[in-house]
Amino acid sequence: MLLRGRHYRTGDRVEVTCDCGTVTSVGPATDAKADREAGWIAPALFDLQINGCDGHSFNSANLTRDDVRHVVHTCRKHGIGELCPTLITGSFEALRHGFTTLSQACAAEPELDRALIGFHLEGPYISPEDGPRGAHPLQHVRAPDWDEFQRWQDAAGGRIRLVTLAPEHDGAIGFIEKLVHNGVVVALGHTAAKREHIHAAVAAGARLSTHLGNGCHAMLPRHDNYLWEQLAADELWASLICDGHHLPAALVKCILRVKTPARAILTCDASSLAGLPPGKYRDWDQEFEILPSGKIVVPGTTFLAGSGAFTDLCVGKAMQMAGVSLAEAIDMASARPRELFGLPRRRLESGQPAQLMLFDWEPGGNIQMREGIC
């Protein structure tokens, strides 16, 4: 297969030849007939926090392999070749069912196994406070329990690779140390932690702030608060939801200037409502409304209640909001999450996997997927 487009890093028009799932050559564009062509070409995206889409939720008590397959295939249309299916705060049985179904899907279908790099457990070990808890159900929030986590990890076939938690819980620091010892990446999120909790979590091995700037109180002390502490912790990378609704442009710019694109990750945090038309829906035993703008709220309020975006939109918004380059934005949504997990970054080079996206883009605009994943 011959692909043609401008290299996302250099802007040069290139031809990429692929055979049997591998890039065999990358060179200057010629007049040869291309099998697929677009304005630009880049490695596929990797999103470490996707909850579902099109009404299919990884958190559903009735999750099936068909649901998993649908989300993966839809994500491919948005340039997302790899993702971490994310399960949020819930009952033990609901989470065990989700992890079991995901694990069985990976074991049965090689395509799904390649796409689902690892599973993300976001909660239930988060803050019970309004604000930091976000839309997570209060009745299922609880302190870390290693035996409980081990049973979920067994159900997942060892595939839980990322855990988001609040470090202020009793026993949380020891729990973090055990996770890190067992090769799980620990993220701080949905937290009301004090300075000492964040410092202790970082010392124990925490490495990421989950969707920094969201999942927090509406009002914070000017100086002594958990946002400043996480920003100041050089050991912590940060993930950001750059959909135009979750964060204002000034905050996105500030976070990226502090963390730099080398320690920042773009995530869409797509909910099961992503991809659905405006209207009222029910999910997580709650009512939600998708506004014509794409913002998801609790009906009758302006309270943000999840994401309706995909990662390709967030790449374009990051450029618009923070002034980063196309290469920096794509790398934050592709190379950075792989680096967080200790995986080699994808490059447009001979010998690399032929998991590429073709898209159109003009400076100041969003990227428009032309072919999805090749």
Q: Which residue, chain included where needed, has tokens 């019970």?
A: 128
Q: How far is CA 325 from CA 14, 41, 179, in A?
A: 19, 15, 35
Question: Which residue segments constitute the domains of the chain, with CATH numbers given?
Answer: 1-44+346-374 (2.30.40.10), 45-345 (3.20.20.140)
**Cα-trace Rg, the chain:** 20
Amino acid identity at 133: R
- E strands, the chain, are 2-7, 13-19, 22-28, 36-43, 45-50, 52-53, 56-57, 80-88, 119-122, 160-165, 185-188, 208-209, 237-240, 264-266, 279-283, 286-290, 296-297, 356-360, 368-373
pLDDT tens across the length of the chain (374 residues): 999 999 999 999 999 999 989 999 999 999 999 999 999 999 999 999 999 999 999 999 999 999 999 999 999 999 999 999 999 999 999 999 999 999 999 999 999 999 999 999 999 999 999 999 998 999 999 999 999 999 999 999 999 999 999 999 999 999 999 999 999 999 999 999 999 999 999 999 999 999 999 999 999 999 999 999 999 999 999 999 999 999 999 999 999 999 999 999 999 999 999 999 999 998 777 889 999 999 999 888 888 888 999 999 999 999 999 999 999 999 999 999 999 999 999 999 999 999 999 999 999 999 999 876 66
Question: What is the per-residue pLDDT for 374?
Answer: 65
For residues 203 and 282, the answer to whether their CB atoms sit within 8 Å is no
What's the rounded Cα separation, in Å, for the pair 262 and 163? Answer: 21
DSSP element (H, E) containing 256: helix 249-259
Q: Phi and psi for 257 in degrees, rounded to 5?
A: -75, -35
Whole-number pLDDT of residue 23: 95
- Kindly state the tokens that stand for 9: 């890093």
Work out the angle at residue 88's Cα, subtended by the Cα atoms of residues 134 and 127, and round it to the nearest 5 degrees. Answer: 45
Tokens 């069912």 map to which residue?
97
Give the DSSP letter string of 172-238.
HHHHHHHHHHTT-EEEE-S----HHHHHHHHHHT--EETTTTSSS-SS--SSSSHHHHHHH-TT-EE
